[in-house]
Structures are given as structure tokens and as C-alpha cells.
Structure 1
Amino acid sequence: MIDPQWQHAERILCVRLDYLGDVLMSTPAIRALKESIPGSRITLLTSASGAAAARHVPEIDDTIGYAAPWMKSSAQHEPRTDFALIERLARQHFDAAVIFTVYSQNPLPAAMLCHLAGIPLRLAHCRENPYQLLTNWVRETEPETQIRHEVRRQLDLVASVGAHASDERLSFHVAPPDVAWVKTRLLSLDIDLTRPWIVMHPGATAPSRRYPPEHWKATALGLVDDLRCPLIFTGNQEEAELVEHIRREVPGTHSLAGQLDLGKLAALLSLSPLLICNNTGPAHIAAAVGVPIVDLYALTNPQHTPWQVPHRVLFQDVPCRYCYKSVCPQGHHRCLSELAPERVISAAKELL
């Protein structure tokens, strides 16, 4: 049962200031709020990357973009931007705010924004005593006592005020026009949707999470030799050169790098029998649309594995696991560089 203080919180601000995948992993918790507080309207305060994802999440009614100065991905901006945001939040008269963070992040800067905007209910995990900044404080116990999947962490947060979801899957709406466009594009590539084919996404924002290009090439060659199935490579425009380097000597491959917006990428994945990728945003999009995943999982952190879909998480165990770094601090990248392509090929064959 929802906490009495929260049962009439119709205007809820959800704060998730990091990346696309983090927003998607928060969607089951957002759904829990929506289902548990009838008539509630959800606004997401998020980064540019998060806002791109939010447009495809039915549970989110509105989005406010904000490059928070305490976040790694933020750009330089004048303090007046922060004051303007506080004024905007105040004008919208939110009843409650839920601040979603990973356990290494401090929620108090966001809590201060919400406090100054006059939002009366404020919920977050917090390691230190927040005093008046949070009205609903869930004490931070990670990683000392446990490490939860990121989805479970956020579900537990909203459960502390009585919000529960009937469906704990990630949320992403695939638009029919995007599916139609992708089907037409695949037809032009002579892809038979009734036979096996594989999407391969070799890029990742963080260098520490990238499987080596030569390993991608060996994996692609092995899949073509073993399965005789088409391989479709994806990536943004900046990753197109990487894709071409990988597939240059591999027959039976196609590149859609730089050709897909987020909706079309989700549509492609929704049709695909399998995705092979690094631990990056498309892995969470694939999970949201129910696609099996071979996840080449750099051991930078343990919380972001594929959620509620068939998957194989592959890595080489190393003593320096869970470094939480975007660039390998040891310089050897062994958790991925020592992952043999044969293991990736075997995992792909199992899931297909």
C-alpha cells in the first residue's frame, strides 16, 4: 500500500541525470509510481542522452533536459542555468521528487534543487544523513552489505514508499513506422527475416567497455563460417569507421552505422534474433524489446547486466574487477582483451 503522504502526489518529478541505459533501467520503478498512484503524471529531469530515451517510454509524460554540473557528462554552463531550472521546477508545482542514482553518486545536489523549488516530498538513497534535504531517506548500504542490479535498486527505492509494479520489465515503445522502415531496409539488403541473422554493435561510450576490434573481426569471421548467417553492424556516425575496419574482410556483413536514430535502432533490435554488444545502451534497448543478448561485459561494474531476457554475460575475470573507470586504469584491458572470440561464437550459437 502506498505511503499516505504519497498517495495524492499526482505531479511527480523523477530525476535521472546520467545516460540512456540508466534511464531505461529506471523505467520499471517509474512504472511502479505510475501504477501505484492513480492519475499521477511523471516528468523526468535528465541529460540529453536520457531525454532521447524518455521519448520512447510511455510511462514518462514530460521531460526536462539538464546538464547537471556535478555529473561526469555535463558541459560548462553559467550558474544562472541552475537558478533558471529551480524557477522552472517551482512553477510546475511538483508534489514529489524521486532521485535515482547509482550507489557511487551523491543525491544531495539534486535534492537541494528540489528543496529550493519547493517540492514537498523528496525520496532518494543517501549515504550520509540528509537532514532536511530528503523527506524520505533510504540509507545507502551498497557496496558494503550488498550489490543489487540497477533495476532492482530503483524498484527497492520506490517500494520504500509503497510503490510496486505489476510488470518489472524495461519500457521502450517501438513505433510501427520505425518497424516498417527497418523491414524495408532489411529487404533491400536481402535479409530473410525467417532465417537467423545477428546484429553486432562494437562501440561503447567508455573505452574501458570496448571489446577489441580484432576480436570483433575474428568473432564475425567465425560466425559467418559456422552459421552462414548475415551480420548487421550498428553504431553512430562516429563509429562508422570502426565498423568498416571490422567488417572489411568479412563476407556476408552489412553496416547501418550512422543510419539509425534511436527509434529505428530499437525497431531493428525488436526484429533481430540476437544482439552481440558491449555493456552499453543498445544492450538495455534490446532487453526492453525482449531480444536475446551476448553481452561482452567489461568488469568496470557489476550492476548493469541484461534484465529479464535470455543472455550470456562474457568476460575474463581479473583481480582489478569493478574499477568503475571509463578508461582501464591498469592499461591492459584484460577483462575484455582476454575474452576469446571462440567463447562469443559459442554463446551466440547457444542463444540462436
Structure 2
Amino acid sequence: MSGPSRILVVRLSALGDVLLATPAVRALAKTFPDARIDWLVEEPYLPLVAANPYARPVAYRKRGEHQGIRGLLALRRTLVIEGYDLVVDLQDKPKARLFHVAGRTIAWRKRTPRQALLSLVGQERPLTRAHAVDLYLEALAPLGVVPDGRSLDLIVTAEMEARARLVLPEGRIVGLAPGARWATKRWAPERFAQLTVALAGRGLRPVLLGGRGDAEAFAAVRASLPFEVPDTATLDVGGLAGAIARCSLVVAGDSGPSHIAAALGTPLVTLFGPTSPKRWGPLSPRADVVRAPVECSPCTNHGGASCPLGHLDCMERLEVAQVLAAAGRWVG
């Protein structure tokens, strides 16, 4: 029996999740070298896939032509016309099921039925059985796909590098990413500021890493800084990757910039609090994880607006000296 000739991978978002799916896409391509693989991804994350040698990006423009149910159905019709014979759904969301447009679908399941039920009634526990990369690869086992390692794929193009140069200073750059989608994953901004001052004292040029959505986090750090620091808020995801490629070190929470750094092999220190490094930790030999010894951590899969116990000790007990010591391994 011949393998599939047209494959659609569905992993729409977010930044880190798209990168964590790249080992599965690579393994899929190497198992079916004659197949054409398209990757449906939200438009802001297209730069992460644009130069991927194993898949062709297909844009889901949810704030443009694919907005609303009519837009989704129009996109579905376009995908049906493509004639895929296999869909690999790595999203596990109801929306993604609209794109099951082939005779066969392999779908990753984030939770067991029991875990899904507990989540619905507010009793979700952190999922720590395996890393997200390994779980994506496990989902492909019914296809006979053999994993090709766990390294992430991200190619920084000359255009990405050029955009990054518009905002970066000269010299040895340390990138600091104080933002995260969920408040409980953010280290205190005054501590990020203290770390910034300490690293600048070692001759590094600090840059705040993130996007437009991190403006509040940037402002909070700047409020405790005695000098000006540039940021990457005007750059798209591709420009952010170009900036991280130029860094001598990145310090980040459990967020997208940490996965970009891991994919590029940029030296990295990742600060973990409520989430699990067993599930989301950076997959790079040039990365260190810093955690506080708190019994209640991890307590969540993605973070939250507030600590369920009301104290956030997992982040509050991360000391500047502890993070600086980890950074010193890479930048002296």
C-alpha cells in the first residue's frame, strides 16, 4: 500500500506550539519523502514556517478573509479542492476539526477522556507524562512515522535578520523577555530590571524581547531601569527570530521567545514557575531551566491570571542572584 501523496498538517498557533510541532513535521516528511506537505498556520506565525524545508505554509487569516464562520467555511472549501489524502491535526481544538478534509485524519489528543472531563469541571492537573514534542511524535505512530530527533526547526532568513538590525544595538546582546500570555508565568519586572542592570555591567547590551502585546511588560521593566533599553515590539515574529539569532544570551519565562532561542541554539535561561519543564522545557543543549523549590509547582498546563493558592511563590522565590548565576554559564 502506497503512502499519502498530499498531507495537510494543522497546527494553527501559538508561537511556541508551532515550533514544538516542527520535529513531527520533519519526521513525517522523512517517512513520506514523495508526499507534498502543507502546513495550515495562523498568519502571524507564517515566518516560523516560511523557510521550513519539510512543509509549505498555508495561511489562515482569521482577522482577514477567513474571519468568522463564513471565512472558515471558505477556507475549508479551498482546502477540499486541494485533494489531501491525509490530515494530521496537532491542534486538538473544535475549530481544527473543520479542516479534517481528507479521507484519513490522524489527530493528536491533548488529554485522555478522563482528563478532559476533569478539566471541564475545574479540576485540571498539569500534564507531565511527556514533553509536547514527544506527544506530537506519538500521535504519528499509527502512520509508521519514526522520530528523527527532538530538535526544533527554524530558519532565519536574510530578510528577518535585516528587520532585526533596525532595532538592535551593536555589540554583545542579551535579550530579556519579561512578557508571557498568562500573568502567573511572568517574573517580577523589578527583578528583570535588576538582572538587566547586572548584565549590562558585564558589558552586554540589553534588549527587551517580545511583540506589541508585551508593551505593558516592557514599561514595567523600564520603570525600574536607570537607562534606556530598546525593544522588539515593532517587529513581527520573523523579525523577533532575527533578533534572537543575534543574541549572546536570552533570559525568558515559559513563553514563545524561549522556544525561538532553543530552536536557534541561542544560549538560554528559562524561568519556570507554575508550568512544567517536563512538558514545555526548552529542547536545546545550550539552555538551562531555573526554578524555585516549591512543592505546589507545577500546578497548571498554561499558567493563569492568578495563583490558585494566592501567593505565586514559584515565581516570587526566583532570586536575581540565582538567574544571574545561570546566565554566567553562557556569558561569563
C-alpha distance after superposition, 1:212-262 (max 9, x if no partner): 11111122223234x232212222234345324424554566312323222
Match of 1:155 among 128, 137, 152: 137
For the residues of structure 2 that align with 1:153 and 1:348, how far apart are their CA atoms? Answer: 30
For the residues of structure 2 that align with 1:327 and 1:145, how far apart are their CA atoms? Answer: 19
Whether 1:53 and 2:48 are equivalent positions in the alignment is: yes
Match of 1:30 among 18, 25, 31: 25
Match of 2:298 among 321, 324, 334: 321
Could you say if the C-alpha distance between residues 253 and 148 of structure 1 is closer, same or farther in structure 2, counting changes exceeding 3 Å?
farther
Q: Match for residue 171 of structure 1?
A: 153
Kept after mapping to 1: 8 A contact 2:248/2:266: yes
Whether 1:337 and 2:316 are equivalent positions in the alignment is: yes
Q: Match for residue 298 of structure 1?
A: 273
Structure 1 residues 155-304: aligned runs within 5 Å: 155-166=137-148, 168-180=150-162, 182-183=164-165, 186=168, 189=169, 191-192=170-171, 196-225=172-201, 227-248=202-223, 250=225, 254-302=229-277, 303-304=279-280
Which amino acid in 2 is paired with 1:351? W
For the residues of structure 1 that align with 2:38 and 2:162, how far apart are their CA atoms? Answer: 30
How big is the shift at 1:207?
1.5
How big is the shift at 1:350?
1.4
For the residues of structure 2 that align with 1:108 and 1:229, how far apart are their CA atoms? Answer: 46
Kept after mapping to 2: 8 A contact 1:295/1:314: yes
Could you say if the C-alpha distance between residues 54 and 314 of structure 1 is closer, same or farther in structure 2, counting changes exceeding 3 Å?
same
Q: Match for residue 89 of structure 1?
A: 79
Q: Which moved more, 1:37-46 or 1:235-244?
A: 235-244
For the residues of structure 1 that align with 2:232 and 2:163, how far apart are their CA atoms? Answer: 15
Q: Match for residue 116 of structure 2?
A: none
Q: Which moved more, 1:251-260 or 1:91-100?
A: 251-260
For the residues of structure 2 that align with 1:149 and 1:18, how far apart are their CA atoms? Answer: 17
C-alpha distance after superposition, 1:29-74 (max 9, x if no partner): 101111211222222233344445333433221314175xxxxxxx
Q: Match for residue 105 of structure 2?
A: 122
For the residues of structure 1 that align with 2:45 and 2:159, how far apart are their CA atoms? Answer: 22
Which amino acid in 2 is paired with 1:42? I
Kept after mapping to 1: 8 A contact 2:12/2:40: yes
Partner-residue secondary structure (3-state), 2:27: helix
For the residues of structure 2 that align with 1:326 and 1:144, how far apart are their CA atoms? Answer: 12
Kept after mapping to 2: 8 A contact 1:29/1:164: no
**Could you say which structure has the greater relative contact order, defined with CA pairs below 8 angstroms and 6 or more residues apart?**
2
For the residues of structure 2 that align with 1:249 and 1:306, how far apart are their CA atoms? Answer: 28
Kept after mapping to 1: 8 A contact 2:253/2:272: yes
Which amino acid in 1 is paired with 2:238? G
For the residues of structure 2 that align with 1:77 and 1:249, how far apart are their CA atoms? Answer: 40
Task: Report percent identity of matched pairs.
Answer: 25
Q: Match for residue 99 of structure 1?
A: 89
Partner-residue secondary structure (3-state), 1:295: strand
How big is the shift at 1:98?
0.9
How big is the shift at 1:297?
1.5
Q: 5+ unaligned residues in a row in structure 1: which ranges?
A: 68-75, 129-142
Kept after mapping to 1: 8 A contact 2:163/2:235: no
Q: Match for residue 117 of structure 2?
A: none
For the residues of structure 2 that align with 1:235 and 1:220, how far apart are their CA atoms? Answer: 15
Which amino acid in 1 is paired with 2:78? R
C-alpha distance after superposition, 1:2-21 (max 9, x if no partner): xx4xx431211111133111
Which amino acid in 1 is paired with 2:146? H
Kept after mapping to 2: 8 A contact 1:32/1:165: yes
For the residues of structure 2 that align with 1:170 and 1:182, how far apart are their CA atoms? Answer: 21
For the residues of structure 2 that align with 1:240 and 1:112, how far apart are their CA atoms? Answer: 34
For the residues of structure 1 that align with 2:224 and 2:282, how far apart are their CA atoms? Answer: 30
Partner-residue secondary structure (3-state), 2:283: coil
C-alpha distance after superposition, 1:60-102 (max 9, x if no partner): 21314175xxxxxxxx96544443343232211101011114x
For the residues of structure 1 that align with 2:258 and 2:126, how far apart are their CA atoms? Answer: 27
How big is the shift at 1:338?
1.7
Which amino acid in 2 is paired with 1:84? A
Whether 1:42 and 2:37 are equivalent positions in the alignment is: yes
Q: Which moved more, 1:307-316 or 1:211-220?
A: 307-316
Kept after mapping to 1: 8 A contact 2:174/2:207: yes
How big is the shift at 1:290?
1.0
Partner-residue secondary structure (3-state), 2:257: helix
TM-score using structure 2 length: 0.82
Q: 5+ unaligned residues in a row in structure 2: which ranges?
A: 114-124
